[in-house]
Structure 1
Amino acid sequence: MVPSTGPFEWASTPFTMIATPKHVQNLSDTKTDEYVEAASSMAVFHNLLLRSLNTIYLQAPHVKDGDKKAFVGYAYCWYDAIDAHHTGEEQEFFPWIEEAAGEKGIMDANVEQHKIFEKGIKEYGSYLRSLKGKEKTFSGDHMRSIINSFGPPLHQHLSDEIPSLLALRKYGDKIHLNELWDKQSIGKFTLHSAATRIPFYLCNLDRTFEDGLWKDFPEVPKLAKDFMGNWVARLNGGYWKFGACTMTGVPKELYAKGK
């Protein structure tokens, strides 16, 4: 059961989650093709981005001065995550798909959508960077206004990208979508991602989503997940209290709440 957060509905608003094709098609106990698998994995990751953006939007006006430095750091993790995701798509994932299909331009519509909200996301990152050393001047209302400028078209894009991946099924076995998804450099561990990006993912990955269908997502050894959640996350420990979930993926009450 999702915990109550006063006037808020946990981290499920204002941007709603995206149903995965695997769940929609009731394929939880069925072997599926790689198009359904890859599109579903993409949806789970997109939901992580939306859920974490919700935590920032909902908590921003209620963060106390003593927590603002940590919150700014946490909020910047979202910028780092979305920037890495879309850079990875444009430089690796989409070109690889087009190369495998033998057809240029089939992913152009997705890239064009990136341009619609690019300016707003850059403003988001620039604002947070401008607060370095003066985090107490952070304005939750200003943060919300920036998110309002790009949030709706971003949500539309993250939703639209799922059927666009499913539509690639027409290329049959020419495209090994799961392999292309897995080999993106965004998914490889670096010192930076180990200290910030990975813990940010963990505390916003709801493992109860769709009746627990994604409780083992991603397929990483439990020992590695425990190490990241219990030890590496301590490097920026003040950040993760703002997450939607515990490090084990259990939904939790939002830390900064209104009255």
Structure 2
Amino acid sequence: MAGTNSKVASSESAGGPLPPLSAGDLRTYNRMSDQMDAFHNHFRMTWNQLWDACDSSAKRPGGLSGRQMIMMGLQFCSQLDFHHSIEEQHIFPVLAKKMPEFRKELDLLKQHKQIHAGLEKLESYLEKCRSGEEDMRREEVKRLMEGFGGVLWKHLDEEVQTLKADNMCKYWSLDEMRKLPM
């Protein structure tokens, strides 16, 4: 399959379509996308649970008590911040060597900054609620989530799409793909 890698590189640089990949090669090239999507699905699921719990008209919205909602929100903020830290320190710098999408001045990292700003506000509010400094108001949690929800959901989708085989094979050989972090 070494010949396929050189064909991929030369075909793409010539502007032509990429050759079809075998099922095994497709799995190799999609590995990072598939793994990232699994992480992102966890964040999507937790976001949706928190969002549903913001419905202040229900007796116990989303099945969560106020305390459970605070703890779930804080865990969401912490896990997403940790996820972004790993990406920025260990994954994006490697990908940025060949892929412009992962360079600091472009969208994916700008999105991280916007998401982090929203996470900080949500986390600060939830910490005040946990300590008793403020009463937890579901409508305030929803307002804070709305502040960065659009960019978060866009980012979760775009990052996974950028790591899909049709893009990865433009930049990386199969052997390189096997050695990439994740």
Q: Which TM-score applies when normalising by structure 2?
A: 0.71
How far apart, CA to CA, are the structure 1 residues paired with 2:138 and 2:35? Answer: 32
Matching residue of 2:124: 126
Summarize the Cα distance change of 1:107–1:51 in structure 2 as closer, same or farther, 3 Å threshold: same
- Is the contact between residue 120 and residue 149 of structure 1 (CA under 8 Å) also seen in structure 2? yes
1:51 is displaced (CA, Å) by 1.2
Query: Which structure 2 residues correspond to residues 1-259 of structure 1 after superposition, within 5 A?
Result: 30-31=23-24, 32-60=26-54, 61=56, 62=58, 63=60, 67-99=65-97, 101=98, 105-108=100-103, 109=106, 110-134=108-132, 137-166=135-164, 167-173=167-173, 175-176=176-177, 179-181=180-182
- Is the contact between residue 33 and residue 163 of structure 2 (CA under 8 Å) also seen in structure 1? yes
Instruction: Give the letter aligned to residue 145 of structure 1.
Output: R
- Is the contact between residue 68 and residue 138 of structure 1 (CA under 8 Å) also seen in structure 2? yes
Name the larger-Rg structure: 2
Between structures 1 and 2, the one with greater helix share: 2
Summarize the Cα distance change of 1:128–1:178 in structure 2 as closer, same or farther, 3 Å threshold: farther
1:48 is displaced (CA, Å) by 1.3
- Is the contact between residue 97 and residue 175 of structure 1 (CA under 8 Å) also seen in structure 2? no
Gaps of 5+ in 1: 1-29, 182-259
How far apart, CA to CA, are the structure 2 residues paired with 1:76 and 1:116? Answer: 18
Aligned residues: 148
Matching residue of 2:7: none
Instruction: Give the letter aligned to residue 59 of structure 1.
Output: A
Question: What is the RMSD computed on CA atoms of the aligned residues?
Answer: 2.5
1:178 is displaced (CA, Å) by 7.0
Gaps of 5+ in 2: 1-22
Higher RCO (CA 8 Å, separation ≥ 6 residues): 2
Stretches (4+) displaced over 4 A? none
Instruction: Give the letter aligned to residue 98 of structure 1.
Output: A
1:96 is displaced (CA, Å) by 2.1
1:136 is displaced (CA, Å) by 7.7
